[in-house]
Structure 1
Amino acid sequence: MADTFIPGPDRARALRGAFGRFATGVTVVTTTTERGPIGITANSFTSVSLDPPLLLWCPAKTSQRHDAFVGTAHFALHVMGTEQDAITWAFANTAEAFEHCDCSLSEHGVPLIAGCPVRFECTIRDRIDAGDHTVIIAHIDRVTTEDGPEARVFLGGDYGHFSAL
């Protein structure tokens, strides 16, 4: 049975559910602050351009980590693998969950999580106010890929993975 609706405050749950029907990857975004390194789990990520190489992600304004990520110049976005659920859950709950992962620091002091299928090291280019989120568009400075780990997928509020036929 189809459910057609006009999005509004009274249908926020339905809109969230509709968005949840689109499979996304699971990422952890990291940066450094005056207090030290932080991270956040995010699924609001997409490619923007190949030339120049750009991506975007969107931190929620309600997040206590929002201002740190919007105010930084550099970050790393890690596409997480199926064996890294403990890391993604940890960063969903706290900004300082680095004890759950093996990481090193970039030349900009940004934490780089090891073992991810893909990692993008970025410099912020644009910050766009967009409702209850900020759209961060960034230049991709460096990409690291690793063979082996499958990327984690998020669909309908749950983790999964993609199996090619």
Structure 2
Amino acid sequence: MKKKQVSNYSFKKALSKFATGITIITINSKNEFIGKTVNSFASLSLNPPLVLFSLDKKSSSLKKFLESKYIGINILSKKQKNISQYFSNKKETWGDTNFILSKENIPLIKNSVVNLSCKTFKKLPNGDHVIFICKVVSIKIDKSLKPLIYLNNKYY
């Protein structure tokens, strides 16, 4: 008896029931600033401090992310829904998004709940994505802000 494969639709529908924060993953690729909306983000280890996220292998900027030594991870605030939508619509340029450069020369989005500066640790191709494991080298937290949440394909 052949087992039924889980459909893409039912898999995405099931995972939409899991609340996540929203991040913009950022790099400086030869002075070209690139950002991608990502909700496949998680902590991995406390010692050393490691986080992970994944990017689709079809992403037009995947090669540049694979080449990047440093990556910024920006956990968005409730007031930054428009930034999430901007970077999720296949736009990787910055438009009028306000940012600062970290000491590692990576763009970090202003007014985010958290900005993490990370050094790329490992890249693991799996399925239709590449998993990036990154070591956190610096952290900035704004305790006055509330995070942007994504659940059931809606922002909260």
TM band (smaller chain): over 0.9
RMSD (CA atoms): 1.4
Using the size of structure 2 for normalisation, the TM-score is 0.92
CA displacement 1:79-121 (0-9 Å, x = unmatched): 001001111111112000241x221112232101111111111
For 1:45-124, what aligned pairs fall within 5 Å after superposition? Answer: 45-93=41-89, 94-99=91-96, 101-124=97-120
Structure 2 residue 129 is matched with structure 1 residue 157: no
**Contact 1:59–1:133 (CA under 8 A) maintained in structure 2:** yes
Structure 2 residue 130 is matched with structure 1 residue 134: yes
- What secondary structure, in the 3-state scheme, does the structure 1 residue paired with 2:134 have? strand
**Contact 2:33–2:94 (CA under 8 A) maintained in structure 1:** no
Give 1:34 shift.
Answer: 2.6
Give 1:70 shift.
Answer: 1.9
Code of the aligned partner of 2:65: F
Give 1:67 shift.
Answer: 1.8
Q: Which runs of 5+ in 2 are unaligned?
A: none
Code of the aligned partner of 2:107: P
**Contact 1:87–1:97 (CA under 8 A) maintained in structure 2:** no
Measure the CA separation in 1 of the matches of 2:4 and 2:116.
Answer: 36
Give 1:35 shift.
Answer: 5.7
Which of 9, 12, 18 is equivalent to 2:8? Answer: 12
Measure the CA separation in 2 of the matches of 1:84 and 1:119.
Answer: 14
**Contact 2:104–2:117 (CA under 8 A) maintained in structure 1:** no
Give 1:24 shift.
Answer: 0.8
**Contact 1:7–1:15 (CA under 8 A) maintained in structure 2:** no
Measure the CA separation in 1 of the matches of 2:95 and 2:23.
Answer: 15
CA displacement 1:39-84 (0-9 Å, x = unmatched): 0100000000011000000011111122211221101100001001
Q: Which runs of 5+ in 1 are unaligned?
A: 161-165
